[in-house]
Amino acid sequence: MRASRTPINVAQKSSFRNADGKLVLIAGPCSAESEEQMLKTAQQLKAINGIQVFRAGIWKSRTRPNSFKGVGTVGLTWLAMVKKETGLRTSCEVANAQHAEEAMRHGVDVLTISGRATVNPFAMEEIASALKGTAMPVLVNNPVYPDLGLWLGALERLNYAGITDLGVINRGFAADEQYPYRSHPRWDHVLQLQELHPELPILCDATHIAGRRSLLYPVSQKAVDLGADGLLFESHTCPAEALSSAQQQLMPQELDLLINAIETKVKLDGTNHLVEQLDDLSQQMDSMDKALVDLLLRRREVSQKISLHQMGDVQESLQIKRWQQELDAWLQRDDYTDMDSKFVKSLMEALQQHRKDTQGGVGASSSAVA
């Protein structure tokens, strides 16, 4: 899809791009669980050099109804307590206008638009209306699937409401092949957005992309190398006891070490090579898929030309015989496993049926014209 080049009006003094080039760092627990947990985590995060905003999940948009949905509005009073006791700016994710209004009423400093709201133009219209007349800094999460139009549309709606202190978050996308990530980063998609709108601050939610602690460094470093303006992390004083996403949260002390490693570009052993190798293989697969689609389109054109010269039952009989010979030849290859054989057989049968449908349709059209 070709994305619009409609300019995005971004405030010159941005909350999401430091003038000195240092990373904007946002951290906090995946979910607000108690006042004690929030305050203890925030106090430890404040001691880390560079942490500017404390974030916590208040409302959790879950796919399944019986999952933990967050503590709700009471968590906003805990965020207010964190702000009062530590001086850190606060942030939470909102998915509708009511969330936005309640967050502002409790003094939240930065709003993050849920990826589930980004894909919904009606929700974005309502959130933008709720924010109209304010100077609220807003970060917009990417839509679940890579669609620049939806992402930019959310930003444009906020612009129309007068919101200019804007930035976006790459928190990863749904994909057929996610491994080794929780959500695929689709760096190419983010680079396209960066090229279209260099004025727009781009942050990376390394935690949500990685899905596990072992990948946090390579994902974070990759984002920084590609020009990210900031990073988001999930941090909990005791990840093992977290009510959500325990496997991807760091203790504040661990996060301090990670940030130091990123800032000093220390090469950590372990998963860096694996991630780079898998990214390269993923790009190769994308190229192969595109080439395969091109071949199938060319094949369809040839099939339609053949149909113009078909000879009824005789031609059909010859085609079936030739297809069977080709299928037998493919299945006799020594390098196929049983699974490969089943795949090849189903693929060849699908291609044969598509050819019959295509030629039948063209032949019928030709007869009708005649």
| 0.85 exceeded by pTM | no
Half-sphere exposure of 6 (CA within 13 A, CB side): 14
Q: What is the DSSP letter of 321?
A: H
Domain boundaries, the chain: 24-268, 274-369
Decide if pLDDT at 248 tops 50: yes
Looking at residue 282, its pLDDT comes to: 59
**Cα torsion angle, 111, 116, 117, 123, sign:** negative
Mean pLDDT throughout 56-82? 90
Which of these ranges, 12-26, 51-65, 251-265, 347-361, has the smallest mean pLDDT?
347-361
- Distances from the Cα of 118 to the Cα of 3, 122, 228, angstroms: 15, 10, 20
Which of these ranges, 59-73, 93-107, 204-218, 329-343, has the smallest mean pLDDT?
329-343
**Cα torsion angle, 15, 262, 36, 248, sign:** positive
**Residue 121 and residue 147 in contact, taking contact as beta carbons nearer than 8 Å:** no
Which of these ranges, 42-46, 115-119, 181-185, 350-354, has the smallest mean pLDDT?
350-354
The dihedrals phi and psi of 182, each to the nearest 5 degrees, come to -80, -45
In the numeric block, the tokens 């196929």 are attached to 336
Beta partners for 92?
A: 111
Looking at residue 359, its pLDDT comes to: 59
Q: Where residue 368 falls among pLDDT bands split at 50, 70, 90?
A: very low
Mean pLDDT value across the chain: 86
pLDDT in tens, 257-312: 999 999 887 765 554 555 556 556 656 766 777 777 778 788 777 777 766 665 54
Amino acid at 291: A
pLDDT in tens, 199-212: 999 999 999 999 99
Mean pLDDT throughout 40-64? 93
The pairing of strands 110-113 and 51-55 is: unpaired
**Residue 121 and residue 157 in contact, taking contact as beta carbons nearer than 8 Å:** yes
Which of these ranges, 4-8, 44-48, 66-70, 156-160, has the smallest mean pLDDT?
4-8
Looking at residue 370, its pLDDT comes to: 34
What dotted CATH number matches 24-268?
3.20.20.70
Q: Where residue 320 falls among pLDDT bands split at 50, 70, 90?
A: low
- Please state, in angstroms and rounded to a whole number, the distance separating the CA atoms of residues 169 and 206: 10
Q: Where residue 352 falls among pLDDT bands split at 50, 70, 90?
A: confident
Which of these ranges, 58-67, 217-226, 252-261, has the smallest mean pLDDT?
58-67
Q: Where residue 64 falls among pLDDT bands split at 50, 70, 90?
A: confident
